[in-house]
Amino acid sequence: MFAQQKSQDLGFPLYMTACATIAALSGFNVGWHISVPNMPEKVIMGIVNDDGSYYCLPGTNESGPLPGCLPMDFPTWGYTIGAFAIGGFFGSLASKYTNVWYGRRDNIMISCLWMILGGVLSACSVNLVMYSVGRALVGFASGMCGSSVAIYVSEISTNKSRGALGSLFELFLNFGILFTQICGRYMAFAPAWRFLWAIPSIIAALQLVFLFFFTVECPRRLCANKKYNEACATLQKLRAGADVEEEFAAMLAAREREDESSQEEMSMWDIISCKDKKITWNTIIVMVIQAFNQIGGVGPMSVYSVGFFTDLFGDATLAVNISLADATVNIVATLVAVIFMHKVGRKGFMMISTGGTCIASVMMVLGSTLTGSNGSQGIGGLAIAAAILFTGSYSMGCGVIPWMIAPELLPMHALASGSALGNSSNWLFNFVINTIWPKMNAGLGTYSFVVFIVINLFGFLFVTFCMPETTGKDLDDRSTRSRVTDSEASDQEKYKPDHPTLS
């Protein structure tokens, strides 16, 4: 007879991969809601006259109970974009508690409910307040699911699959951006624009059904709740019949070390006040890496790209085509990261990403500022190449790594709080960048991306000198390892075959 394969040696068991894929589907809805205002922007805003009166664009159907547009000026439009990020900020903070109270899987399901409610509210909005509240609710859902999906996928995955499966959230997010751009191109008129906000609600409802009936909770979370038999059975199901004795013993030993050292669940204040300096420093790394999911300039490249390139080239059709090309490049670059994550590593891709976006920002400034050969403002080819390089570089690292780094740097008792702080950093900078961009673009004009040159250069230096490599590390070898004495090295042995949960 052949010896049973050990679970640590597995790559991508089918059921485990399916669970991770279903959970990561939340990324599609997040990406959709990030980019959905881009194409129908002019239709929704309408036209506001100097005397305060307004009218919708010609051809807009205003019959029926729902207005054809929600008239507002451009700064107000920026605040509705920011409402999504503010919701994400508070959703991230809330995830610290909901991840502990309900578990990772149930927290993702709760986020689906908020996603459905917010999408329906925006789709049926009759005024600006209703629309903005809907945007805030889908942002709240996005903030909740961001940290939960990252932790869930990391904790159910094998060491060999964690990098690739951890990239699925960003891959689905980029698919969401691409599909909303395509749909928005053909639905940027009233009343069809309202269906753009309803579509992700339908997807969230389907995801909720699959999560409830098909997936399981993380074995590590179950162990933390002292549900050892259920944890063992769940791990066996995720590992497709492989021998889970050693992996489960290591999991139990890690929980035992935390119990013996009286490590209680850390609060966000415990981390901020440096109760454990190593955990605080690792959380700072998580927060900086999460910030670079937004702070480096991806917002203007996705949410405002149509308006930005229309102003630059004076051609709305060309601007739309560039945005679609960017969305496609996002997906290709994310697939590259998925395939080569285990070889290049988290740190390697972050260096490529921040370095690439810095160079692309330089090219964008030159391409939009220099005079062309025909005497026109800007060099179109250079600006387009800059946009492609920026989105491709971003997606390989800054788009992917932030969603998987917290579970690899933080121990179980600090993971919920540290992950919440990291995701809050992400959404806070999402709000700041997307809210101030219209004013920044108006004030700096073609030199707007100088700001992102500086930011991305700082990111490259921080990653190079401060970010540790976490590729291939076992989750149970996180910061608890620093507290393990030589006498504790045999902990795994006492949890092997004679442990009651394994028999």
- Give CA–CA dist 262/179, Å, rounded: 49
Summarize pLDDT for 359-385 with one digit per residue, the tens: 999 998 888 887 655 555 557 678 888
Mean pLDDT computed over every residue of the chain? 81
- Whether residue 172 contacts residue 27, with contact meaning beta carbons closer than 8 Å, is answered with yes
Domain containing 335 equals 13-48+69-215+263-475
Return the pLDDT at 243: 84
Q: How far apart are the first and last CA of the chain?
A: 21
Is the pLDDT score of 495 beyond 70?
no
Is the pLDDT score of 498 beyond 70?
no
Summarize pLDDT for 188-228 with one digit per residue, the tens: 777 788 888 889 999 999 999 999 999 999 888 888 788 88
In this structure, is residue 226 part of a structural domain?
A: no
Return the pLDDT at 18: 94
Summarize pLDDT for 392-425 with one digit per residue, the tens: 999 889 988 988 888 889 887 888 888 889 888 9
Is the pLDDT score of 348 beyond 80?
yes
Tokens 């013993």 belong to 249
Element (H, E) at 48: strand 47-48
In this structure, is residue 2 part of a structural domain?
A: no
In this structure, is residue 388 part of a structural domain?
A: yes
Return the pLDDT at 33: 87
- Give CA–CA dist 176/197, Å, rounded: 12
In this structure, is residue 480 part of a structural domain?
A: no
Q: In this structure, which amino acid lies at residue 418?
A: G
Summarize pLDDT for 453-476 with one digit per residue, the tens: 999 999 999 999 999 998 877 666
Is the pLDDT score of 480 beyond 60?
no
Q: What is the DSSP letter of 107?
A: H
- Give CA–CA dist 154/142, Å, rounded: 18
Greatest mean pLDDT range, 112-121, 219-228, 264-273: 112-121
- Among candidates 418, 422, 95, which has minimal Cα distance to 279? 418
Q: In this structure, which amino acid lies at residue 14?
A: L
Q: What is the average pLDDT across 221-237?
A: 87
User: Which range is least confidently modeled, 310-319, 340-349, 396-405?
Assistant: 310-319
Domain count along the chain: 1
Tokens 């679970």 belong to 7
Is the previous residue joined to 191 through a cis bond, with omega within 30 degrees of 0? yes
Q: What is the average pLDDT across 65-91?
A: 80
Q: Quote the percentage of the chain above a pLDDT of 70.
A: 84
Q: How is residue 317 written in tokens?
A: 């059709």
In this structure, is residue 110 part of a structural domain?
A: yes
* pTM greater than 0.85: no
The pairing of strands 54-55 and 47-48 is antiparallel
Element (H, E) at 75: helix 74-101
Q: What is the average pLDDT across 151-160?
A: 86
Return the pLDDT at 308: 63
| CA distances, 422 to each of 207, 269, 411 (Å) | 25, 14, 14
> For residue 25, which phi and psi values (nearest 5 degrees)?
-60, -20
Longest dimension (CA), the chain: 86
Select the more confidently predicted residue: 179 or 109. Answer: 109
Q: Quote the percentage of the chain above a pLDDT of 90.
A: 25
- Give CA–CA dist 277/254, Å, rounded: 20
In this structure, is residue 422 part of a structural domain?
A: yes
Summarize pLDDT for 42-57 with one digit per residue, the tens: 788 777 666 656 667 6
- Among candidates 326, 310, 323, 285, which has minimal Cα distance to 410? 285
In this structure, is residue 196 part of a structural domain?
A: yes
- Whether residue 161 contacts residue 38, with contact meaning beta carbons closer than 8 Å, is answered with no
Classify residue 369 by burial, with Cβ atoms within 10 Å: 0-12, 13-18, 19+: middle
- Whether residue 180 contacts residue 32, with contact meaning beta carbons closer than 8 Å, is answered with yes
- Give CA–CA dist 95/131, Å, rounded: 24
User: CA torsion, points 205, 207, 209, 215, in degrees to nearest 10?
Assistant: -160
Count CB atoms within 10 A of the CB of residue 177.
29
In this structure, is residue 86 part of a structural domain?
A: yes
* CATH code, domain carrying 107: 1.20.1250.20
